[in-house]
Chain A
Amino acid sequence: GAVVSQHPSRVICKSGTSVKIECRSLDFQATTMFWYRQFPKQSLMLMATSNEGSKATYEQGVEKDKFLINHASLTLSTLTVTSAHPEDSSFYICSARLISSGGYNEQFFGPGTRLTVL
């Protein structure tokens, strides 16, 4: 149980184009999903918290107009990197929140999407 998928796993695009990444919870419903970015040999960096049916909450320093998040259903959140540039090249990882039987929040990660902008 608690499987999260991401698509695509890898994408290469030209500078100036937009890229959409999908995150799905396959065997549970997730009212909350999270989007992270990780540069090589660096820590996970939370970009935003995505809540189903409402606007995402972005972390300080993350441009909401550049990283568009949509959480239209209880199993799907999307991240669109608009007008991507080489500095946006990174490993993008989503996670989905599952409330355990004890009432605690657990997060399960998708496999990640490696974005390369040429």
Chain B
Amino acid sequence: QKEVEQNSGPLSVPEGAIASLNCTYSDRGSQSFFWYRQYSGKSPELIMSIYSNGDKEDGRFTAQLNKASQYVSLLIRDSQPSDSATYLCAAPQTGFQKLVFGTGTRLLVSP
């Protein structure tokens, strides 16, 4: 089982809709979780961090964490074509400094 798993997509949503991106992780010791956005040909950009159970909102983005279910999600409200990118979920590997990344979910927002 991969340590961080994501559906590769693509996830297609119309402009203005809510995009829901999901991630599961296997390391119960993980305490922090991150969502990165990566446009084609560019490097990843940190868009959300979440450390405790529940929801965390930042503008159109909401991260949700459920440690009991080992599940992290990212909701994007009022999706825009400019949100079209690959979204990477990441968590630190317990005992190490490095992050473990999922393979990413490709999001396509159509006008």
Could you tell me which A residues sit within 8 Å of B by CB distance?
Answer: 2, 32, 34, 43-44, 46, 49, 91, 93, 97, 100, 102, 104-112
Given contacts A107-B46, A111-B42, 11 further A-B contacts (CB under 8 A): A2-B46, A43-B101, A43-B103, A44-B44, A44-B88, A49-B98, A104-B32, A105-B32, A107-B90, A109-B45, A109-B46
| Count, chain B residues at interface, CB 8 A | 22
A93–B43 touching, CB < 8 Å? yes
Partner of B97 from A49, A91, A110, A112 at Cβ < 8 Å: A49
CA distance A110 to B96 in the complex (A): 21
- Total A-B contacts with CB atoms under 8 angstroms apart: 45
The secondary structure that dominates the B interface is: loop
The secondary structure that dominates the A interface is: strand
Could you tell me which B residues sit within 8 Å of A by CB distance?
Answer: 31-32, 34, 36, 41-46, 49, 51, 88, 90, 92, 96-99, 101, 103-104
Write out the residue numbers on chain B whose beta carbons fall within 8 Å of the beta carbon of A91. Answer: 41
Write out the residue numbers on chain A whose beta carbons fall within 8 Å of the beta carbon of B46. Answer: 2, 106-109
Write out the residue numbers on chain B whose beta carbons fall within 8 Å of the beta carbon of A97. Answer: 97
